[in-house]
Amino acid sequence: MVISNNVASLQANQTFLNTTANNVANVNTDGFIPQDTRITNNNSKTSQANVRLADDNGSQRSQTDLSKEIPDQIIQTGVAEANVAAIKTQDEMFGTLLDIKA
């Protein structure tokens, strides 16, 4: 595993969390159409966040669905923690490798 893959995943998850945070912050904003984030893997097998407006249901009230946003935030927080743990482990392994004397 390459650290850059974990870093790309962290960046994609940060975009996802920023989007959900914005949606939650606008839960009481009339006419607000939330954004939807999809995380995909590109050709180099690194994660990438794609953000788009969610489907407009025509409501005059905010269309933010907290029953979707809150679980999404919980899941993405766990994914970020896993990536940080992987980066720390790789850093420790590289550090140990560099400490080996010839």
Q: 3-14, pLDDT tens digit by residue?
A: 788 888 899 999
Answering whether pTM is above 0.85, one says no
C-alpha pair distances (Å), 90 with each of 3, 11, 97: 7, 18, 10
Mean predicted lDDT score pLDDT of the chain: 88
| 66-87 tens-digit pLDDT | 999 999 999 999 999 998 998 8
Domain tally, the chain: 1
User: Which tokens hold the place of 69?
Assistant: 């946003």
Q: Which residues of 59-73 are buried (b: 16+ CB within 10 A; e: fewer)?
A: eeebbbeeeebeebb
The share of the chain scoring above pLDDT 90, in percent, equals 57
The pLDDT of residue 45: 75
Distance CA 26, CA 19 (A): 11
Closest CA to 60 of 26, 23, 31: 31
